[in-house]
Structure 1
């Protein structure tokens, strides 16, 4: 029986190995994300993470070479996965008003996962603060797109979409930082429901 060369064996085995490695890596990163969202990341060490994840430091360093890189990856994963879930929900709606309500509710649900400690750590660490700012800007832009869609469909009156999007951006930041919640006593979900109501009452056509 002909023998398979080592190179051939590696070629045959590598796809399966890569799939297992990627699955393990994603699972570890998701667990790290949950810990960071719940407790923040400044005070947690790599050693503590490995104990809680029941893995070696070498395994965790295969996900990211440093703790700082791990923090960045986990933060990106959080925002990326949240955006995917929100957009999937928005895609099930056809009415422009329902799309905006669904989008803002989705943002509120995602923000419920952020502890105060995580937020403070995130805005204090330059790489994650940049990720946060970029995603906040994208959220504002997305609401502007939904408003523009409603205007084109005749559901909303022609208004300044840029102003509306900036208003949403400020509201998102205010809720995320806790400033609006502290001043109003609302939960994140209630605050975003109020924002949606405020926007849409100002956008809907009024009967002549």
Structure 2
């Protein structure tokens, strides 16, 4: 029986701290989740726990380690998404192309109604080829969502990086987020809201997007471009509004498109924090 494990570090991994020259205790704290519930088998559970306890002993030791290991599980950089922080599998060019075509299909039409047979027919590939991306239909969907947000984050940050004025950076960030989310169909968003593994990725990205905006506002305050506002509160307001936009609630109540709603949100935030 194969049980995929999904570790999430609680705080900065030890090897990352030591690579910066920090002196830390040789211990590691992380959450560990299985993709499926473990059977009620005491022997199997004890074996799983034994295996899990041996995941990071070498990296927990106080040494720097090779750079490629440090990069693999480093915590998210400021402004990055959870999807970007998760390590992408090493794929061939063909597998990457297949994943991108899968993302395009699911974001355009949703995924709840698709069977594996239908996916293989639409993507013109075999189940064996599709299973090289993930071990199950559920994991395929989650991998597609992660890939979409990973690439979207890269695009957004590239646009923010070329702008220096604090108010412009806030506007560019929110408009770039709107542009990246615009291709997502309502069916895909509804399916994602109902499917917990995909929803978790989306919600994590929304939280980090709010944190990124909070960082941009804090930088603006420090530079004297913004009033001394409560950046964390502004971030929470933005996160709540972003969630309502994506659920279609803003469009229903106001008639605004998602892009128009993001433009209004950007204008509102900049005017609220300006001196």
Query: Smaller-chain TM-score range?
Result: 0.7 to 0.9
Aligned residue pairs total 186
1:54 aligns with 2:124: yes
In the alignment, what sits opposite 1:104? 174
In the alignment, what sits opposite 2:229? 159
- What is the rounded CA distance, in whole Å, between the counterparts of 1:64 and 1:47 in structure 2? 15
| 1:21 Cα deviation from its structure 2 partner | 5.3
Q: Which has the larger radius of gyration?
A: 1
In the alignment, what sits opposite 2:187? 117
In the alignment, what sits opposite 1:201? 271
| 1:141 Cα deviation from its structure 2 partner | 0.3
- What is the rounded CA distance, in whole Å, between the counterparts of 2:220 and 2:237 in structure 1? 17
- What is the rounded CA distance, in whole Å, between the counterparts of 1:104 and 1:67 in structure 2? 32
1:174 aligns with 2:205: no
**Superposition RMSD on alpha carbons, in Å?**
1.2
In the alignment, what sits opposite 1:79? 149
- What is the rounded CA distance, in whole Å, between the counterparts of 1:92 and 1:188 in structure 2? 24
1:91 aligns with 2:161: yes
- Structure 1: where are the runs of 5+ without partners? 1-19
TM-score normalised by length of structure 2: 0.66
Which aligned runs of 4 or more in structure 1 are off by greater than 6 angstroms?
A: none
1:23 aligns with 2:96: no
Inter-CA distance 26–139: structure 2 relative to 1 (3 Å threshold): same
- What is the rounded CA distance, in whole Å, between the counterparts of 2:124 and 2:191 in structure 1? 25
- Structure 2: where are the runs of 5+ without partners? 1-89
User: Which structure: greater helix fraction?
Assistant: 1
- What is the rounded CA distance, in whole Å, between the counterparts of 1:21 and 1:126 in structure 2? 26
Structure with the larger RCO, 1 or 2 (CA within 8 Å, 6+ apart): 1
1:187 aligns with 2:257: yes
- Secondary structure of the residue aligned to 2:207 is helix
TM-score normalised by length of structure 1: 0.87
From 206, 217, 223, the counterpart of 1:147: 217
